[in-house]
């Protein structure tokens, strides 16, 4: 039985607690949060769980095997470092840390101590992303030409970072999980209208072999959109995460190019065939991820969304921030 301590019971913490409480082999021992009001909610729902306003009651608790950190990003590094030093396995929310240096320090510390360090990239556990990963790996789409993701809504302004650091980690972690190679360079544009941090931003990531990815994130959109297009040489897909059913549609559409003397352009022809929406399971992604976290600890294995996966996202965020400051100028990752 792995006993987990959860630090932070704001937006995401309740989901961590609920799922850890029901994962086989897991239990929630302590929850800490700076706000006593939130802790009384914990007590109401989970009378057997201890609560505290002091995170050290998690870190120093010898019965705690693993610590889940769901605080603002600025606190991630210190808390994760303290937990690792106390010999705890760590699950940290995305983005992993505020800088890539911090991420590297955490990776080293976990490595040195033989502890599991996992970053919560929940989306890669969704049935949709797992299905897309299978389709790409199985060659069904052919070579991927582009990925185009939109993640916009009327969103909560974050006091300490911009819309890219808030929303894009989802898209970047999905891209890193799905695409065969890593991004080489990033161009980002955007604008801040209200509180000094960008509330609308656009990221282009250049990949080897003419792959390109684009991410559109926006806190001031009147409508909520969560749509990703992936264009492959053989097939293309649309993932609309807001659809209750038919989240994933795969189109037998594409462009065939036959190069021939002189009349090149006439030989770009279109295919437009059937569409197919595979049934995807209805499992809560976070449940799967937390079960896997517990299993990794039990089996002493490194998770695939480990510290390095977290670092890769932070590096892309840093590159995007630099490009944003130079209004689109290319920054190598």
What residues from 25 to 84 belong to the interface with a copy of itself (CB under 8 A)? 45, 47-48
* Tokens encoding 265: 């352009």
Buried b (16+ CB within 10 A) or exposed e, 125-156: bbbbbbbbeebbeeeebeebbebbbbbbbebe
DSSP code per residue over 190-248: EE--SSSS-SEEEEEEE-GGG-EEEEEEESEEEEEEEEEEEEESS-EEEEETT-SS--E
Q: Name which of 112 and 274 has its Cβ closer to a copy of itself.
A: 274
Residue 122 binds a copy of itself, judged by CB under 8 A: no
Name which of residues 3 to 22 contact a copy of itself (CB under 8 A).
none
Which one, 220 or 333, has the nearer CB to a copy of itself? 220
Q: Are 151 and 216 in contact (CB under 8 A)?
A: yes
# chain residues binding a copy of itself, by CB under 8 A: 71
Span interacting with a copy of itself, options 27-35, 51-59, 267-275, 303-311, rule CB under 8 A: 267-275
Q: Which residues of 253-276 are buried (b: 16+ CB within 10 A; e: fewer)?
A: bbeeeeeeeeeeeeeeeeeeeeee
Length of the chain: 333
Spatial neighbors of 113 by CB under 8 A, at least 6 apart, are 84, 87
Is 330 a binder of a copy of itself (CB under 8 A)?
yes
Those residues with Cβ within 8 angstroms of residue 328's Cβ, 6 or more apart along the chain or in another chain? 187, 188, 189
Per-residue x/- marks for a copy of itself, 269-308, CB under 8 A? Answer: -x-xxxxxxxx-----------------------------
Pick from 18, 114, 17, 123: nearest CA to 67: 17
* CA-closest candidate to residue 80, choices 317, 301, 316, 310: 310
Name which of 99 and 192 has its Cβ closer to a copy of itself.
192
Q: Whose Cβ is closer to a copy of itself: residue 137's or residue 325's?
A: 325
Hey, which residues between 209 and 248 contact a copy of itself (CB under 8 A)?
210-212, 214, 216, 218-224, 229, 231, 236-238, 242, 244-246
Strands 50-52 and 26-32: parallel
- Which one among 191, 208, 283, 325 touches a copy of itself, defined by CB under 8 A? 191
Q: Which of 137, 268, 283, 325 binds a copy of itself (CB under 8 A)?
A: 268
Contact letters (x/-) for a copy of itself, 153-182, by CB under 8 A?
-x--xxx-----------------------
Given the rule CB under 8 A, which of 24-32, 129-137, 152-160, 169-177 is the region that contacts a copy of itself? Answer: 152-160
Considering the complex, what minimum distance in angstroms separates the CB of residue 318 from a copy of itself? 16
- What's the closest the beta carbon of residue 270 comes to a copy of itself, in angstroms? 6
Options 29-37, 100-108, 170-178, 266-274: segment touching a copy of itself (CB under 8 A): 266-274
Please pick, from the candidates 206, 292, 295, 298, the single residue that binds a copy of itself as defined by CB under 8 A: 206
User: Exactly one of 75, 107, 145, 333 binds a copy of itself (CB under 8 A); which one?
Assistant: 145
Stretch that binds a copy of itself, among 65-73, 104-112, 263-271, 299-307 (CB under 8 A): 263-271
CA distance 171 to 162: 15
Q: What is the b/e burial string over 83-100, where b = at least 16 CB atoms within 10 angstroms of the residue's CB?
A: bbebebbbbbbbbbbbeb
């Amino acid at each position: 039985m792995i006993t987990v301590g959860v630090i932070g019971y704001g937006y995401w913490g309740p989901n961590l607690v609920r799922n850890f409480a029901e994962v086989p082999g897991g239990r929630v021992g302590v929850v800490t949060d700076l706000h006593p009001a939130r802790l009384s909610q914990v007590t109401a729902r989970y009378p057997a769980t201890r609560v505290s306003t002091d995170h050290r009651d998690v870190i120093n608790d010898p019965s705690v095997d693993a610590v889940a950190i769901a605080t603002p990003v600025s606190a991630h590094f210190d808390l994760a470092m303290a937990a690792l030093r106390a010999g705890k396995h760590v699950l940290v929310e995305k983005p992993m840390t505020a800088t890539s240096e911090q991420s590297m320090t955490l990776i080293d510390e976990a490595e040195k101590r033989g502890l599991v360090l996992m970053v919560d990239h929940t989306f890669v556990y969704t049935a949709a992303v797992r299905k897309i990963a299978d389709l790409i790996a199985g060659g069904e789409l052919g070579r991927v030409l582009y990925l185009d993701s939109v993640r916009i809504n009327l969103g909560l302004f974050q006091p300490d970072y911009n819309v890219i650091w808030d929303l894009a980690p989802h898209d970047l972690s999905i891209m890193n999980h799905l695409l065969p190679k890593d991004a080489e360079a990033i161009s980002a544009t955007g604008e801040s209208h209200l509180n000094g941090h960008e509330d609308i931003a656009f990221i282009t990531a250049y990949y080897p072999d003419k792959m390109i990815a684009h991410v559109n994130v926006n806190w001031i959109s009147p409508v909520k959109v969560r749509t990703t297009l992936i264009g492959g040489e053989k097939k293309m897909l649309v993932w609309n995460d807001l659809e209750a059913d038919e989240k994933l549609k795969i189109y037998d559409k594409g462009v065939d190019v036959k190069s021939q003397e002189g009349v090149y352009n006439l030989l770009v022809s279109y295919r437009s065939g059937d569409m197919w929406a595979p049934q995807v399971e209805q499992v809560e992604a976070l449940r799967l991820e937390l079960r896997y976290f517990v299993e990794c600890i039990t089996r002493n294995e490194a998770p695939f969304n480990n510290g390095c996966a977290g670092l890769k996202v932070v590096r892309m965020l840093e590159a995007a921030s630099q490009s944003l400051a130079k209004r689109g100028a290319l920054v190598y990752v």
